Structure 1
C-alpha cells in the first residue's frame, strides 16, 4: 500500500536536523530557486498555471491564476503574504512542515515573490506555536546569510526582505482579509470584498495571500516541471498534498499522497479504525466542512469529489469518529469553538452561533423540545451566507450536515441526555480524558 504515498514535501522529515540549511541543500534545497532566477517572472507564473497547483488552504483556487491577477502597472509595492495561521480544528499539516523543513517554505517564498515582482514577503504565523516561530526565524536568518534572501539574491539583482510575523492567536485571522488587517496592526476582522487583495490588499497595495503548503509546493514544481506535478492527482485536482488523520484511528498522522486518494486507502495506511470499533462519521477538511459517513469512504479526496458529496476538501483535516461518539456532543463542541472565535463583526454570526450553542446544549442534556430541530435549522438558514467571511458558513455546515445524517440522535435529545446514549469515557482517546466526564 505504501506505493500510493508521494513524499515530496515530507521527503526529508525523517532526516537528522532536516531543518538546518546545510541538510536541506544536501537534498536538493534551493536548486529550484537557482533555476527560477534564470527564468522570467512571467514564465514562472505560466509554469505554476500549467502545473495545476491549487491553493492548499481550503479554497482550492488556482495559484498561478491568483498570481496573474496582480496588476504589474500598479505603482504601489507588491506583497506576498503566507498564511501560516493554522487553526482549523483537526488541521495539523502546516506546523509539522515548518518544524521539520522550514527551508521548503522559505525557498518557495523567494521564488513566488520573484514571480509576482514583490520586494517584501510576510509569513504570518499563529502566535501560540512559539517553537515553530523560532525555527522559521532561524531558517530565514540562514537564508539571508547564504545569499538566498536580502539584497542581490545570488547575484541576480533581485532584492527581497522576508518578515516572520507572530499573530495574537485568533481563528478569524486565518481568513485572508482579517489576516491583512491584523498584519497592519488593526483588530483582525474580515473586509468587505471587492476590492480583492490582489488589487488592494496589505497597505492598500497589490497582495498575494497563499497557504504554507501552496507556497512550499512551488520549489518542486520549478525543479521538476509542471508535467511531473500534474502527472499526480486527478484531472482537475493536480499534484500531491498532505492529509491529516486524527481521532479514532490506529496510527494518526500526516500522509502525503496524490490528490484523489480515498479515505479507505488512508485508513488502510494508518492501520484502520481503533480495534473493536467501526467508522461512524468523519470530516474531509476540518470541522467547517460538512461531515460524511462510512458510505463515503470510497469518494476521491479532491475538490470535485468532495463537492459532489455535498462537502468540501477544505484543509484535508480528516477527523475520524467511531461508533462510540455522540454526534450531538461533537457538533456542540465545534459550534462552541465558532461562537468563541467569532470576531463579532456580523450580527448573524455573533448572535446566531450563541443561540446554536444554547440549543445544542439542550439537545445534549435531553432537554430539547419538539420542533427544536426545525428551529435550529431555521437559525442556520439565517446565518449561512449572510456574513463577511466563511466562519459563519462553517458553523452552520457542521450543524446541518449532522442533522442530515443523524437526525434520530437529535430527536433522542427530546428526552434522553447524549451522555447516557454515548458515555463520553468510551470515546476518549486517552484514559485521563475520562476524568470528570459523564459516565
Structure 2
C-alpha cells in the first residue's frame, strides 16, 4: 500500500469538504449556484499491457469542480428593480466595460440613475428611440430617467356620442351657456396646449328640429379667438331618418375664425388657446400655443337615436408634464415608467445572455461569471425569446443549494477523510514492522 494513495484520498476528501462548506456558506446568497466536486481514479501508465492489466490504482484525483445551474426558488420581494430569471439566461452587467454575467437580480440605482448591482456593475440592455420604441441590437447601460415627461399639445379628439332624437327644442332662447334651459345636453373635455396647460373644451347641443342639432363650443368658457366676445363657435349637425350623422357645417358668426370644417363630422380648432388676463385685467397672450395644425375634432360616430343623450367614448392625445412615480418591468424585460399625469412610456428593455456551455464560465466572485474559451460566446436576446427564460419582476432567485443534501455530503466527506487517514496510519505501522524485522 502506497502512502501516495492515502494522501491523494486525503486531498480529495479535503476538496469535497471545501466544496460542501462553500455551498453551505452560500445557501442564503441570492443567485448562487452550488458546486460539485468530481473525482477520477488514477492508474500508472505502462508500455506493456500485460503489466497493467491487473494493476492496482494509484489513488484519486480531482477532475473538476462543476457548477450546478439548476433553477433556484423564486421569492417575491416587491422591489421594482428586483428581478429573477425563470429559466435559462444570465443578466449582463458591465464592470467598467468588462462583461460580467450573473443570476443575482438585486438591482438599484446610483446617484446618476444608472441601474446597478451591489458591486456597482451597470445592468445592460436595449434603449429606446424618441418614439419610445425599443432599439434592439445595440446594448447600452440601462438608466432610470427621472426628468419630467415633456407635455404634448392636443391635436386629436375623438368622440362617440348619442343625441336623444326624442328631445324637444328648448323653450328658452337664445343660447346661453350659463342657462341650462337654453340647451339640451353638454359635456366638457380637458385639452392641453404646448406648455402642458389644461383647458376645458365645452360642447353644448341644442335640438333645432326633427333631425337637426346645433353645437356650441367654448374653450375655458369663451370664444378663444376673441375672449371678449359672447358668441361661441357653432356647428350644425344633420342626421338621417335612421339617426346617422350626415352633413355638417360650421357657423359664421361675427367671431368665427379658428374653427373650420375638414369634412362632415370633423372640425378643426386652429386658434383655441385663449389669451389670459394680465395684472391690469387686459387680455394678453400667455406664451403657450396649440399644436401645429390645430385640434381635429372627430365626431363622425355621433348618432341620434331614441335614447338618452350620452358620451360613450372619448379620447384625446394631449397631456400635461409629469414626473416619474412608478417603475415596472414585464416578463419580456420591458421597463415602463408611469408618470404623475397618468401617462406611461417604455424606457428600456433588460436583455439576457446564454452560453452553449455554461459549465465553461469562469467564476468571477460576487455571484458573477465571465466568458471563457470553454463557454463559447454569449447569445444575447430579450427574455422569452429563443431559449431565454422569463423575467419575474419584484422577485429574486434564491440559492439553489439543498442544505439537507449538503449536510449529508459533509458527513460523507468527513468519513472519507478519516478513512484515508486510517490507510496512511496503517501503512506507517506496516513500514515500522518491516524495519524492525530487518
Shorter-normalised TM-score: what interval? Answer: under 0.3
Higher helix share: 1
Higher strand share: 2
Tell me which structure has the larger Cα radius of gyration: 2
TM-score with structure 2 length normalisation? 0.19
Relative contact order, CA 8 A, sep 6+: which one is greater? 2
TM-score with structure 1 length normalisation? 0.19
